Amino acid sequence: MIARLVLAALLFLAAPLSAQLPEAAPAEPAAAPTPGQTIASTQDDGADERIAERITGIFAALPAFGQVTVEVREGVVTLSGTVPAEGDVARAEEIASRVSGVVTVENGLERDVSLSAGTAGLSSLADRWAGLVRMLPLIGIALLVWAGIVLIGYLIAGLGALWHRIAPNSFLADLIASAIRFIAIVGGLVVALDMIGATALLGAVLGGAGVVGIALGFAMRDTIENYVASLMLSLRQPFRANDWVKIDDREGRVIRLTSRATILMTLDGNHLRIPNGQVFRAVILNYTRNPQRRFEFELGVDADDDARAARQLGRDTLAGLDFVLADPPPEGRIMQVGDSNVVIRFLGWIDQRETDWWKAQSQAIPAVKTALEDAGFGLPEPIYRLRFDPRSASIPFAQDGAALLPEPKKTVRQVTVTETDEDVRPADEIVEMVEQERRQSGGGQEKDLLDHARPVE
């Protein structure tokens, strides 16, 4: 009974308080659900129409979605129609899904592959052509600037007298002129492209050219090496025209040094072209650089004779020859004891400007040999002792050591030696051939890089 009275009193007191409270504000419409949110159980009237109108207005502002149809039902957007590009399909779905109140998007768009769809591409091409036409004055000015820079570069490169005066040889002078022309062409192109705002194109071209250059460098490694060797040889000048040289195992007189090869005339009159890459790496023996040259030969005297006396006689004989130089003096060296003789090596020096090396040696050998024989020295031939086993002979022969019949003496026809045969002056046949070859090809396409005004390395 008491509890009922207390409850009635509380209700009586709460009634005035509730009358004094303000009225609650009307409920706001629920916000459109977002991904991850719960979809509202009810939808306001006209929401589908508002969503469809909003999406249609957005698509109307975009030319790519002019053929798109939008339908909305219970917040579900259905897209149908065609778009010009494949990427526009996903783009349309992404735009529709961002509109407030959209529950989901059913994307039924397809790419338009009909011929009529190409009008957009043609329109873009026409726009580009119009832009190109508008840029023609600027392009013309850029071309004029490029032509001016190239003209200045060619004028500077055309100062041949200046570059030939600065460079050590004509090959390097031509190389400097070519480098100036190349720099002018590339520099003018950079400036022209920068004027029309196409420096990105230049970067792509130069990048591609660099890759192509690396590939060509590996493919033409021998050619590039030969070109660099030509440049180094023209700077070092290792020989002169008509020098008698030996390059590795190839021997001859130098005709000319070109930008590709060194041309020799062999001692038998044949042309020999050696790539400069091989010449630069080769061991070069120049017989002409030092006019003094030594010849040598060996003779063997009997082992029972005095080898020191034979050496002295041969040395005096060489000293008595007119073409043998007194300084350095001729020399004789006892080399070894052979099977039946003592080998002596004789050496003498000549001046190649006055004496032919081959002729001098050909005169010196018989002179020393005759002097030794006239002095009683024996020049024995190799002696071999043969021993026969009579048991293996098919024909019986005498074993009593019967004396052998002496061989009949050979008769030698007398030959008269003239002064021409004794002439040891240098033979000029190859030298004259080389000079004639240089005179005939003086105005040829291959320039001679040998410069007689510069010192030889």
Whether the pLDDT of residue 15 is over 70: the answer is no
Angle 430-435-436 (CA atoms, 0-180°, nearest 5)?
A: 95
Is 257 a domain residue? no
Residues 316 and 377 in one domain: yes
pLDDT band at 416 (very low <50, low <70, confident <90, very high): low
CB-hemisphere CA count at 13 Å for 267? 7
CB-hemisphere CA count at 13 Å for 40? 15
**What is the reported pLDDT for 101?**
85
Q: CA 28, 34, 40, 43: dihedral to nearest 10 degrees?
A: 70
pLDDT band at 275 (very low <50, low <70, confident <90, very high): very high
Is 201 a domain residue? yes
User: What length does the chain have?
Assistant: 457
Is 175 a domain residue? yes
The domain spanning residue 68 has which CATH number? 3.30.1340.30
Is 212 a domain residue? yes
Whether the pLDDT of residue 120 is over 60: the answer is no
Residues 101 and 185 in one domain: no
pLDDT band at 30 (very low <50, low <70, confident <90, very high): very low
Average pLDDT score over residue span 183-199:
83
Of 77-86, 107-116, 338-347, 359-368, which has the strongest mean pLDDT?
Answer: 359-368
- Report how far residue 106's alpha carbon sits from residue 168's, in angstroms, rounded to the nearest whole number: 81
Average pLDDT, the chain: 80
Q: How many helices (H) and strands (E) does the chain have?
A: 13, 11
226 vs 414, higher pLDDT: 226
CB neighbour list of residue 457: distance below 8 Å, 6 or more residues apart: 236, 237, 238
Read off the pTM: 0.55
Each residue's pLDDT tens digit, 53-103: 899 889 888 888 888 899 988 889 999 988 888 888 899 999 989 898 888
Average pLDDT score over residue span 336-354:
91
**What is the reported pLDDT for 224?**
79
Handedness of CA 312, 317, 321, 323 (dihedral sign): negative
Query: 177: domain range?
Result: 134-219
Domain finish residue from 219, 238, 264: 219
Residues 298 and 377 in one domain: yes
Domain count, the chain: 3
**What is the reported pLDDT for 166?**
77
Is 345 a domain residue? yes
**What is the reported pLDDT for 207?**
75
**What is the reported pLDDT for 5?**
46
Tokens 């460079």 correspond to what residue? 167
438 vs 456, higher pLDDT: 438
Handedness of CA 353, 357, 363, 365 (dihedral sign): positive
Q: What would the two tokens of residue 208 be?
A: 């591609």
Each residue's pLDDT tens digit, 145-180: 999 999 999 899 888 788 777 776 677 787 888 889
- Report how far residue 246's alpha carbon sits from residue 282's, in angstroms, rounded to the nearest whole number: 10
Is 240 a domain residue? no
CB neighbour list of residue 157: distance below 8 Å, 6 or more residues apart: 163, 176, 177, 178, 180, 181, 184
**What is the reported pLDDT for 414?**
57
Tokens 């081959």 correspond to what residue? 358
**What is the reported pLDDT for 418?**
53
Q: What would the two tokens of residue 205 be?
A: 């071209």
236 vs 197, higher pLDDT: 236
Is 370 a domain residue? yes
Each residue's pLDDT tens digit, 289-342: 899 999 999 999 998 899 999 999 999 999 999 999 999 999 999 999 877 889
Q: What would the two tokens of residue 33 be?
A: 């659900």
SS3 category, 255: strand
**What is the reported pLDDT for 410?**
58
Cβ atoms of 281 and 240 within 8 Å: the answer is no
**What is the reported pLDDT for 27?**
41
Whether the pLDDT of residue 138 is over 80: the answer is yes
Residues 206 and 143 in one domain: yes
Of 22-31, 365-374, 392-401, which has the strongest mean pLDDT?
Answer: 365-374
Residues 142 and 102 in one domain: no
Angle 232-238-241 (CA atoms, 0-180°, nearest 5)?
A: 115
Is 109 a domain residue? yes
How is 313-363 classified by DSSP, letter by letter?
A: HHHHHHHTSTTS-SSSPPEEEEEEE-SSEEEEEEEEEEETTTS-HHHHHHH
Average pLDDT score over residue span 129-141:
83
Average pLDDT score over residue span 331-359:
91
**What is the reported pLDDT for 316?**
94
Whether the pLDDT of residue 434 is over 80: the answer is yes
Residues 155 and 84 in one domain: no
Whether the pLDDT of residue 19 is over 80: the answer is no
Residues 80 and 141 in one domain: no
**What is the reported pLDDT for 118?**
53
